Homo-oligomer: A and B are copies of this chain.
């Protein structure tokens, strides 16, 4: 079954979010509009808006209210991608040139700022104080996570805890905020809001771990970049941390730097890929996933709950 089938009942609402995204970034400044529009048209899974909408179904779902949260979350996500691409000097994202590649780093930095600002502008349409508090809190955490990612580059002495805290901030809390905001915007009960927050959090953790695994086990064709790119860039992810528990492998991994010999790098990637580090990473991802499924068990049955289940399971099985 295709994933989209699971939330097909939201199709027309998702289309409206898409239109809204385009409307929001239309600015009289042509350059900004071009840069922002390219980001939107490049597509993406729109996982955050989908979580907002699905979570909204556990309250009094009103598209004209909740759409602002869905759009705001996607804009923040896009803003962080633009800034990440500047940091990583990335040239291509989803098959299109990045904003920094096409317009330069300066425009990219301000495009990110602009998307952040637009996101806020959008969320102010929902006049519920908790909504603004939740969103700004998630943004602060996101920024901390980004700084930590730079700080921890090529730091081979970091602990599992450091890694988990970083992916919590960089990924999980924004997905958790998506679920939480969908629920708050629909006036769901405090218990429902809390459960959906934790669902998003656990799914987000699982999602990022799988992403970090795929960077080793997927193909260049599917990734759109060579496998093992994270490690080459100094991002010490879960498979690397597990692989370093094997002394002979640790010895070689800690010597990785950005100018490493290509053959040596290929060797190291193959060794990590064939070690038990991948399996162990899958197991941890699976544990988060189980927690996600567990926490929403008490929520009322229905299309929305089924869709949340299916998305969570899809994430755990994703192979690209």
Interface residues of A (CB under 8 A from B): 27-29, 31-32, 83, 86-87, 106-107, 109-114, 116-118, 120-121, 123-124, 127, 129, 132-133, 135-137, 139-140, 142-144, 146-148, 150-151
Contacts and interface: CB of A to CB of B under 8 A. Distances in A.
Contacts of A107: 147, 150
Given A110-B150, A147-B110, A117 B136 contact: yes
Copies of this chain present in the complex amount to 2
Contacts of A140: 114, 117-118, 121
A144 B27 contact: yes
A87 to B, nearest CB: 5
Contacts of A113: 83, 112-113, 116, 143, 146
A120 B106 contact: no
Given A32-B143, A110-B150, 12 more contacts: A29-B147, A29-B151, A87-B110, A113-B113, A113-B143, A113-B146, A117-B142, A117-B143, A120-B132, A121-B136, A124-B136, A127-B129
28 contacts: A27-B144, A29-B144, A29-B147, A31-B147, A31-B151, A32-B147, A83-B110, A83-B113, A86-B109, A87-B106, A87-B109, A110-B143, A110-B147, A110-B150, A111-B147, A113-B113, A113-B143, A114-B143, A114-B144, A116-B139, A117-B136, A117-B140, A117-B143, A121-B133, A123-B136, A124-B132, A124-B133, A132-B132
Contacts of A137: 121
Give the most central of A28, A107, A121: most B CB within 10 Å.
Answer: A121
A267 B247 CA distance: 67
Contacts of A110: 83, 87, 143, 146-147, 150
A133 B120 CA distance: 8
A87 B103 CA distance: 13
Nearest to A30: B151
B147 A120 contact: no
Given A109-B87, A147-B107, A139 B117 contact: yes
Give the most central of A28, A32, A109, A114: most B CB within 10 Å.
Answer: A109
Nearest to A103: B150
A111 B83 CA distance: 12
Contacts of A148: 29
A103 to B, nearest CB: 9
Contacts of A124: 129, 132-133, 136
A29 B142 CA distance: 12
A116 to B, nearest CB: 6
A123 B203 CA distance: 30
